[in-house]
Amino acid sequence: MEPEEIEQLCTMYVFSPPPGKSWGLTYESLEAKLLERNPEEFIRLDDGFGGPVAGSSMHFGITLDDERLEAMALLAPEGVSVQDCTTGSAARFALWLRAEVVPRDVAIMFNTEWGLEAELPDAPVPDATRPRIATAFMEHLVETGELD
C-alpha cells in the first residue's frame, strides 16, 4: 500500500497515560475544555453500572480544523479514544489532548483498534509536530499487519 493510501485509512485511536501514571482526568474537566472550545459540542455521560464512575463513560464530539470527530473517555482504565480517524485527524486530536487535557509532565501513549487486535504494545505519541505524529501513526498501522 502506498503512503497516501495508508494516510486515508480510518480506525479507532486509543490514548492513555503511561503505566503507573495518571492524567488526573475527570469528566467535569474534559467537559469544561470541550465547552470552552465550542459551547455546542455534543457531550453524553453514561453512568454504567456501580455508580457514577465504575463502568461509566463519556461520549463526545469535537471539531478540529472543520472535521467533526467522535470520541469517548473512560476514567478506569483512564484514557480517551477517537473513532474512525485517519492518521492526520488522530495527530490533530493528540495535539489537542497534549495542549488542553494532559499535564505537561505526563506522556501520551497510543494504540489503535488494529494494534490492540494484533496485540501490539502501546507506544508513546512523539513530542513533535502534527506531520511527525501522523508518520508515527502510519508506521504503527503498517506494523499491525492489517494492510495486506
- For the segment 102-112, what is each residue's pLDDT rounded down to a tens digit? 999 999 999 99
Q: What is the number of other CB atoms lying within 10 angstroms of the CB of residue 60?
A: 21
Q: Which long-range contacts (CB under 8 A, 24 or more apart) does 54-59 make?
A: 56/27, 58/27, 58/30, 58/31
Domain-wise residue ranges, the chain: 3-144
Residue pair 108/22 in contact (Cβ under 8 Å)? The answer is no
Which has the higher per-residue pLDDT, 63 or 147?
63
Tens of pLDDT, residue by residue over 6-49, are 999 999 999 999 999 999 999 999 999 999 988 988 999 887 65
Tens of pLDDT, residue by residue over 61-108, are 999 999 999 999 999 999 999 999 999 999 999 999 999 999 999 999
Please tell me the distance from the alpha carbon of residue 144 to that of residue 12, in angstroms, as a whole number. 13
pTM for the model stands at: 0.92
Which has the higher per-residue pLDDT, 138 or 48?
138
Please tell me the distance from the alpha carbon of residue 109 to that of residue 147, in angstroms, as a whole number. 22
Residue that is written with C-alpha cell 478540529 in the block? 64
Q: Using pLDDT thresholds of 50, 70 and 90, give the confidence band for residue 119.
A: very high
What is the percent of the chain with per-residue pLDDT over 70, rounded to a whole number? 94
